[in-house]
Amino acid sequence: MTDETRARFLAGIAARVPAERVTEVHLFGAIRQGGQESGVAVIAVQRRDDEQASGTVASDADALSQDSVSAADTRPTRYTVYTARFRHTLKGPERGKWELAVTEEADAPLLTVDAVVRGVSRRSGEADETIRLSGDEFRAALPEPARA
């Protein structure tokens, strides 16, 4: 993936997910085939505070036992996980065509996201081509207008 393609891909992601809450981005190596280049990224985004709630809302604070409060406090923080895919036509009558899709896939702790990304990279045989960007690195890689 060229620097220009990567910048365009990251800017497209930032236009579809809240860039200020991106925690990490995993970029898989791009594939060139038949006059097209395509790529995939996995993005972990911090959930809003209201999404961090455990899913069980008690109507009476006394109904919660100390054990359930302790269990909730030890759960790992969960992140909304997105996949992003691009396809860029390099040759032919549709040369220059750019398609981008970003899909919310799941919510999971970062350890799970990292384990899944490593597993996919290993199975694809391209473990060295997967790039991990922290949220700060992601935001720094964006063109100026996308950072605001």
Domain ranges of the chain: 3-54+80-147
pLDDT of 129 strictly over 90: no
pTM of the model: 0.78
pLDDT at 124 (0 to 100): 78
State in Å, rounded, how far the first CA of the chain is from the last one.
25
35-49, 59-73, 76-90: the lowest-pLDDT one: 59-73
Q: How confident is the prediction for the chain on average, in pLDDT?
A: 83
Q: What band does 123 get if pLDDT is binned at 50, 70 and 90?
A: confident
C-alpha torsion angle, residues 51, 56, 59, 63 (rounded to 10): -140
Under the banding of pLDDT at 50, 70 and 90, the label for residue 48 is confident
As a whole number, mean pLDDT of residues 117-124 equals: 86
Phi, psi of 27 (to 5 degrees): -100, 120
pLDDT category at 127 given cuts 50, 70, 90 is low
